[in-house]
């Protein structure tokens, strides 16, 4: 039986450990501030749910190894992680210059994230990147004011248009302020030591699967399966621990997750590139002397000749069309909206004249944005 002095000594030792724990927690929060500074400058997302799950998985395994209750330890670490996220946001609010808030579709290591990182890293005032599961969620973040802008994929040079982005533009309240062209080099990623003949499933975003269709046809034993994101698919390979599973994603995603690159450049076209558009609520003026593009949305009645007349009005004024896309109008069966990209400034004399001539031919005519043409 413990005597009172012995019990007091144990309590004092516990209190000393508690002080050490709190000191370590304080140091952790100081490191969180440093991480926030890096993320803002280098354009890394503050929060990545899948990455958090990986951290929690490691914590659970460590708890078991130490003879601790893994479920209780996980709850504790979830609280610590929420505390860290709150600390990062408080750090941002305390900055003299608020960072630009950018939404994108995907997770860290996805092509959208890598493109956003290249575009916004080291910009004045910093950048706060936030990944979303869908293009709609990224667009809605702009509409609700939780993001200043979103970088959305709209077209791939191999697989064609990305309809979800066109549909979000039709929803309204978004203006295109810039376009970005990003080279896409797909890799086949798997657990270290995996051979091609081991594979039975390959997962990735539907666009990536389509862009690598020829390569996949050369693996008759493999079944392609769609996932919401390329980097997210790569993480599923890690989590599954299954050598029959591989993902199509970027080299960066593979390096980040410790996956082996079985094949590089597996897309059908070597010059595979994705065009992204930067959308916001407010329009950013496009310099009058810049080589500009203008995006239009048109709704036409059932007369098939109207589209031809629209294109004629543009051609008469030497306005070069670079893209024509049609999408069904959900509320009107067999009626379509048309999206037209032209090389012209919306305020140029020829474009103003063209719009005046086109308007009577349309049920709806909307200017989606004038922005500098990407190289």
Distances (CA, A) of 169 to 79, 147, 162, 165: 38, 16, 12, 6
* Pair of tokens at residue 336: 């379509």
Distances (CA, A) of 284 to 21, 39, 279, 305, 371: 49, 25, 10, 35, 8
CA-based radius of gyration for the chain = 26
For the question of residue 44 being annotated catalytic, the response is: no
**Per-residue pLDDT tens digits for 97-144:** 778 899 999 988 899 999 999 998 877 778 889 999 999 999 999 999
For the question of residue 274 being annotated catalytic, the response is: yes
Q: What pLDDT, on the 0 to 100 scale, is given for residue 194? A: 96
Q: What are the residue ranges of CATH 3.30.70.260 in the chain? A: 285-372
Confirm or reject CATH 3.90.930.12 for domain 4-93, answering yes or no: no
**Rounded to 10 degrees, what is the CA torsion of 129, 133, 138, 143?**
-120
Q: Which helix H or strand E contains 308, and what residues bound it? A: helix 305-316
- Between CA 15 and CA 40 the distance in angstroms is 37
Name the active-site residue from 115, 130, 158, 274: 274
Per-residue b or e along 64-98, where b marks 16 or more CB atoms closer than 10 Å to that residue's CB = eeeeeebeebeeebeeeeeebeebbeebbeeeeee
Name the active-site residue from 44, 46, 91, 276: 276
Pairing mode, if any, of strands 245-249 and 292-299? unpaired
In CATH, what number does 100-183 get?
3.40.190.10
Distances (CA, A) of 60 to 66, 68, 362: 10, 9, 61
Pairing mode, if any, of strands 201-204 and 149-156? unpaired
Asked if 266 and 190 count as a contact pair (C-beta separation under 8 A), the reply is: no
**Per-residue pLDDT tens digits for 345-364:** 999 999 999 999 999 999 89
Q: What are the contacts of 356-359 at 24+ separation with CB within 8 A?
A: 357/313, 358/298, 358/310, 358/313, 358/314
Q: Is the pLDDT of residue 328 over 90?
A: no
Q: What are the residue ranges of CATH 1.20.59.10 in the chain? A: 4-93
Q: What number of other Cβ atoms are within 10 A of residue 220's Cβ?
A: 7
CATH classification for the domain delimited by 187-266, as one of 3.40.50.300, 3.40.190.10, 3.40.50.10900, 2.60.40.420:
3.40.190.10
* Pair of tokens at residue 123: 């910009």
Q: Is the pLDDT of residue 303 over 70?
A: no
In CATH, what number does 285-372 get?
3.30.70.260
C-alpha 89 chain-centroid distance:
20
| 1 band by pLDDT with thresholds 50, 70 and 90 | low
* Pair of tokens at residue 306: 């109207």
- In the chain, % of residues over pLDDT 90: 70
- Between CA 238 and CA 256 the distance in angstroms is 11
Distance separating the N- and C-terminal Cα atoms of the chain: 81
| 304 band by pLDDT with thresholds 50, 70 and 90 | low
**Per-residue pLDDT tens digits for 170-216:** 998 999 999 999 999 999 999 999 999 999 999 999 999 999 999 99
pTM here?
0.78
Q: What pLDDT, on the 0 to 100 scale, is given for residue 2? A: 59
Q: What pLDDT, on the 0 to 100 scale, is given for residue 346? A: 93
Asked if 279 and 174 count as a contact pair (C-beta separation under 8 A), the reply is: yes
Q: What are the residue ranges of CATH 3.40.190.10 in the chain? A: 100-183, 187-266
3-state secondary structure of 161: strand
């Amino acid at each position: 039986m413990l005597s009172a002095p012995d019990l007091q000594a144990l309590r004092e030792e516990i209190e000393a450990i508690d002080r050490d724990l709190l000191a370590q927690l304080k140091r952790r929060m100081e490191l969180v501030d440093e991480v926030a500074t890096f993320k803002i400058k280098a354009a890394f997302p503050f929060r990545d749910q899948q990455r958090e799950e990986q951290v929690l998985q490691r914590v659970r395994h460590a708890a078991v190894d130490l003879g601790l209750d893994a479920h209780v330890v996980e709850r504790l670490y979830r609280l610590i992680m929420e505390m860290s996220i709150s600390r990062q946001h408080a750090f941002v609010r305390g900055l003299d210059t608020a960072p630009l808030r950018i939404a994108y579709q995907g997770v860290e290591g996805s092509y959208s994230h890598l493109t956003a990182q290249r575009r916004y890293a080291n910009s004045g005032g910093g950048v706060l990147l936030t990944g979303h599961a869908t293009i709609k969620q990224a667009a809605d973040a702009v509409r609700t004011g939780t993001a200043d802008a979103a970088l959305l994929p709209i077209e791939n040079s191999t697989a064609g248009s990305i309809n979800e982005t066109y549909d979000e533009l039709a929803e309204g309240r978004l203006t295109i302020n810039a376009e970005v062209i990003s080279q896409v080099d797909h890799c086949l990623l798997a657990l270290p030591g995996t051979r091609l003949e081991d594979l039975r499933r390959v997962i990735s975003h539907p666009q990536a699967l389509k862009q690598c269709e020829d390569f996949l046809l050369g693996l008759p034993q493999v079944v392609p399966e769609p996932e919401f994101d390329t980097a997210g698919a790569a993480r599923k390979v890690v989590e599954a621990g299954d050598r029959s599973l591989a993902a199509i994603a970027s080299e960066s995603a593979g390096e980040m997750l410790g996956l082996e690159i079985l094949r590089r450049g597996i897309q059908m076209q070597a010059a595979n590139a994705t065009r992204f558009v930067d959308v916001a609520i407010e329009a950013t003026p496009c310099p009058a002397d810049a080589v500009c593009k203008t995006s239009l949305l048109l709704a036409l009645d059932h007369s098939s000749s109207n589209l031809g007349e629209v294109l004629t009005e543009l051609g008469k004024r030497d306005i070069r069309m670079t893209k024509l896309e049609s999408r069904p109008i959900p509320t009107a069966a067999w009626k379509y909206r048309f999206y037209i990209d032209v090389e012209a400034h919306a305020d140029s004399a020829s474009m103003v004249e063209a719009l005046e001539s086109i308007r009577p031919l349309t049920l709806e005519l909307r200017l989606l944005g004038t922005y500098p043409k990407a190289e």
